[in-house]
Amino acid sequence: MSQSLLEMAKDLVLAQIEAHRLSPEEMHQALQQTYTTLMTLQAQEGADGSVPVATPQIPPKPVDWRKSLTKYQVTCLECEQSYKQLSVRHLKEHGLDGRSYRIKYGIPRAQPLAAKATTVKRKEIVQRSRPWEKAPTFLKAHEKAQQSGVQRKSTARKRA
């Protein structure tokens, strides 16, 4: 600011006197009021003397996808809606899929687009249901093991 507040206030009041909107008698009061108003305005200014504006001058930081994945929800970085997981159908609404969404926001390919709790729960379910045990090779090996167990039992019974 090149002018002091008092100078600004004086200039403003003088301008009003010149415009015949103010008598010289009213000047003192007007000067006080104007000065107070300017003080208030200055207080509203930032510490660096810049007047805050509605639009931020600093460009928004790149989105941190890690913040979009919390324990109980995942926030879609496109529309900021929260879900338990980002479905393929939802991403399609943004013209994206799991792959392009991850690329766009720099998310690792192995990162599930789901709430952490959901991911953990799914792992638990997988471990509990043991889908690999339904694989034909495993079933065959398991059957054999059971058969030999039955045979062992029957021989044991014979012996008894």
Which long-range contacts (C-beta less than 8 Å, at least 24 apart) are formed by 30-34?
A: 34/9
Closest separation in Å from C-beta 61 to Zn ion: 20
- φ, ψ of residue 55 to 5 degrees: the values are -95, 130
52-91: which residues touch Zn ion (CB under 5 A)? Answer: 76, 78-79
Closest separation in Å from C-beta 77 to Zn ion: 8
Residue nearest to Zn ion (CB): 76
Closest separation in Å from C-beta 89 to Zn ion: 11
Closest separation in Å from C-beta 76 to Zn ion: 3
Site pattern 15..54 for Zn ion (x: CB under 5 A): ----------------------------------------
List interacting residues with Zn ion (CB under 5 A). 76, 78-79
